[in-house]
Structure 1
Amino acid sequence: MRRAGRPAEPPSAAPGTAADGGLLVRARDLLVGYTGQPVSPPTTFAVVPGAATALVGLNGAGKTTVLKAVLGQLAPLGGELEVLGGPVDERSVAFRRAVASVLDVDVQLPGLTVREHLDLVARGHGVRDADDVVDQAVLDLGLEPVAENPATALSSGQRRRMLLAAALVRPRRLLVLDEPEQRLDLAGREDVVDRLVEEKEAGVGLLLATHDPLLLAEVADEVLLLSEDGVLPVTAAEAARELGR
């Protein structure tokens, strides 16, 4: 599955970013939910550079809600949560430059092609050699046939690839992904697996919620099953059996 060519130096490989060895996320007995009601059990986990932590569970187990708390989109109900060594502050420039994410939100800019959209994201984040970085993301995620098409003309799977590419053309130490396999065929999931493995090799830390056995087996270093009985560390194979995959 791995591509023969290595990507251009990713934004995350710059000095003082993903390679500094610091803990990226620390959650201890984290409670998350809505209107004061937890939707998941107390959750403890950590994300370190160069490794991937995967959250699995049935729909409604709270995986996405945990991700939203890490991203500062939702205040925790209890427990402890630190991102980049301190409280979550999604308004800070340092946080926004270090944390990239793809949730289940279909964002696109009318009037821009796929390549123009990615170029805007890269240049907006001050990426050097933006053209090369965008070209590599387009190649890695199989977007070459539609790179010059308007983003609004893409299929749902192509839009998902574009959103993933947008997270990969900007600086990042931490990459937070909510079911990145959604709406992708097998070839698309293999492309995502290849690129996420390369992200880890570059020192980026990954936190993802997924149901996909391929991502769990090939990408995840730690798998946590969220259920009514609590949070249990499991293997990728055990997670697949639990989820009926």
Structure 2
Amino acid sequence: MVDQPAVAVDGLYVSYGSTPVLVDVSLRVPAGAGVCVTGENGIGKSTLLRCVSSLQRPDQGNIKIFGKPAGSTPEFWRQVVTTVEAPTWYAGLTAREHAELVCRAHGADPEEAGVDEALERLGLAGHTDAIPPSLSSGQKQRLTLALTLLRPSSLLILDEPEQRLDPEGRATVAEMLADYVASGGSLLMASHDDVFATASGAQITNMETLTADGAVGKP
């Protein structure tokens, strides 16, 4: 029996008004693998990720996550973590408390999940008692990625995770994503940085190739 792909997109169409954004887009992300979608701004990368994340309904097409239709169900969100939308920061909670909350909300013990190690690895060890709105844009991005990687999941959907990170931060995040894929997780992301994507263990494909005849992972 052939394993179900982590992501299967077929014949996706999305328009904004009279302007087509996605036209007959198809994509495969094999389970336990990474795929990075590249392309110029405005080509539809974020729209594709929003549809796969079940945050936007396409005009036409089918999307399946591990063989089941994408949808806003508890089962779906137990498997999927996405950074397509900006995170919600809880008033009065510190960076570390946000990390602890994410772990506990998903049945994980913060200490066993490695909260302190993740925050230190991402350069936030000196900011654990800060509230997120007080952090710089780069620090907020690091915290967002820490929260994303700390909670249990089977699929990460990340929109330009390298944004606002310095070279050292990009290298660290790429290493953590590669570890995630190596441990059996699946990754779909959009990026403008091919070096970062390759270091993350992702196969690179351009949005322009994602037609019905050029779907990633199709025979």
CA distance in 1, matches of 2:61, 2:206: 18
Task: Tell me the equivalent position of 1:69.
Answer: 51
Contact map agreement 1:53 1:222 (CA 8 A) in 2: yes
CA deviation profile, 1:180-232 (whole Å, cap 9, x unmatched): 011111111011001000000110000000001222221244222124x8656
Task: Tell me the equivalent position of 2:81.
Answer: 100
Q: How does 1:1-245 map to 2 (within 5 A)?
A: 22-35=4-17, 37-90=19-72, 92-127=73-108, 129-133=109-113, 134-227=115-208, 231=211
How large is the Cα RMSD of the aligned pairs? 2.0
CA distance in 1, matches of 2:124, 2:59: 40
* Structure 1 consecutive aligned stretches of length 4 or more whose deviation exceeds 6 Å: none
Deviates more, 1:174-183 or 1:42-51: 42-51
CA distance in 2, matches of 1:36, 1:94: 35
CA distance in 2, matches of 1:139, 1:54: 26
CA distance in 2, matches of 1:33, 1:118: 37
CA distance in 2, matches of 1:88, 1:233: 18
CA deviation profile, 1:104-141 (whole Å, cap 9, x unmatched): 515322211100011111101111x3223212321332
CA distance in 1, matches of 2:150, 2:7: 22
Query: Quick one: which amino acid aligns to residue 112 of structure 2?
Result: D
Compared with structure 1, are the counterparts of its residues 173 and 230 closer, same or farther at alpha carbon in structure 2 (3 Å cutoff)? closer
Query: Quick one: which amino acid aligns to residue 154 of structure 2?
Result: R
Compared with structure 1, are the counterparts of its residues 222 and 165 closer, same or farther at alpha carbon in structure 2 (3 Å cutoff)? same
CA distance in 2, matches of 1:117, 1:33: 36
Amino-acid identity (%): 36
Contact map agreement 1:112 1:150 (CA 8 A) in 2: yes
Unaligned runs of 5+ residues in structure 2 are none
Unaligned runs of 5+ residues in structure 1 are 1-20, 235-245
